[in-house]
Amino acid sequence: MFYPKDFIETAEGLIFAVVAQGLEQGKALCFLRYVKEATGWKKYDTAEANALLKRQYPEYLHYSGFLDAHLHAVAVARITRYHQPRRRLQHIMQSNELDAIEQDLLQLCNLFKQHGLDLMKTGVTGSLLVGVQKQSSDIDFVCYGRDVFNEARAITRELIRLGDLQELNDDDWNQSYQRRSCALSYGEYVWHERRKYNKAVINGRKFDLNFVENEISPASVNYQKHGLVTLRCKVIDATRAFDYPAEFKVDHEDIDTIVSFSATYTGQALGGETVEVSGLLEQVDQGPKRIVVGSSREAHGEYIKVIRGPSA
């Protein structure tokens, strides 16, 4: 079974990050992240990854009917190495020779453990998962299961209060905002992010908490697209706000849910809050309607933001 945040490697020297649980047509749904070049492993952004595959490895380009998205996919037979976050974290924790980033990760794990987090239900992804981290690398910590993830967020909040961890500084937030290139203003972006407690700083190094669901994903449903819409509505259930895709059930005469495939808008709103949303309206036959934010990877012009003050 493949899970999001796992990495898979092929004989051509390509490392893909898995983005969805299980298989589709015998392939793992994923996105190219690292390419082995003469000087070592190089991280590729979205545009570089798509261009390389289109030019040299078109067999890895894929349209997913399940996610209704263009991404990458690798047939199981083409996978030469399978990198698992849980296994990698246990290996680091048992190692006697750690670099600076691994030492920070170990310290973070010890803090979480001291506050009751079950580290057997956690892992590490990103550059650390495949051993290509640099001195400047962040830590991408993985939590398996909703309860574990929410517990890690609560512990992070408490550790910031105690001074064992720090909030991101202005430079950190600005870099994060520039990477996202989202439709929110800088002030709006930071306000929403600060209250999620899914990122903080240890020894000057930023870390993120990533949620991976243990449950089996629901069967796919085919939605028909009906164009872009912008509207306001009240969130009545945000239980799955950090899922992939993130889901917000809303109180609206026409719309049942808001769904986001963009990491920027996971955890964006709480139950009872009024949001403004801009995205693609979709419907199942004559049944439920939803608004999708992040119909493309960058989600240009699409957003979810909480309406604060009297207008809410």
For residue 142, is pLDDT > 60? yes
Q: Are 15 and 72 in contact (CB under 8 A)?
A: no
Structural Rg of the chain based on CA atoms: 20
For 215-226, the DSSP string reads SPPPPP-PPEEE
For residue 227, is pLDDT > 80? yes
**Average pLDDT score over residue span 53-74:** 90
Helix (H) or strand (E) holding 65: none
pLDDT at 300: 73
* Structure tokens given for 71: 């991404």
pLDDT at 220: 60
For residue 216, is pLDDT > 70? no
CB contact set of 283 (below 8 Å; sequence gap of 6+)? 223, 224, 226, 289, 290
User: How do residues 269-297 score in pLDDT, each as one tens digit?
Assistant: 999 999 999 999 988 877 889 999 986 55
**Average pLDDT score over residue span 104-112:** 98
What sign does the CA torsion over 307, 293, 192, 170 have?
Answer: negative
53 closest CA partner among 69, 30, 76: 30
Q: Are 249 and 255 in contact (CB under 8 A)?
A: no
Q: What domains sit in the chain, N to C, each tagged with a CATH number?
A: 7-82 (no CATH), 85-212 (3.30.460), 224-306 (2.40.50.140)
* Residue 217 pLDDT class (50, 70, 90 cuts): low
296 closest CA partner among 47, 41, 43, 26: 47
310 preceded by a cis bond (ω within 30 of 0): no
For residue 132, is pLDDT > 90? yes
Q: Strand locations in the chain, DSSP E?
A: 7-10, 14-18, 27-37, 40-43, 61-64, 69-75, 79-83, 122-125, 139-144, 199-202, 205-212, 224-237, 246-251, 257-260, 274-283, 289-293, 303-306
Q: Give the whole-angstrom CA distance, residue 304 versus residue 232.
A: 10
Q: Give the whole-angstrom CA distance, residue 306 versus residue 265.
A: 11
The residue that leads in pLDDT, 298 or 120, is: 120
* Structure tokens given for 180: 């996202």
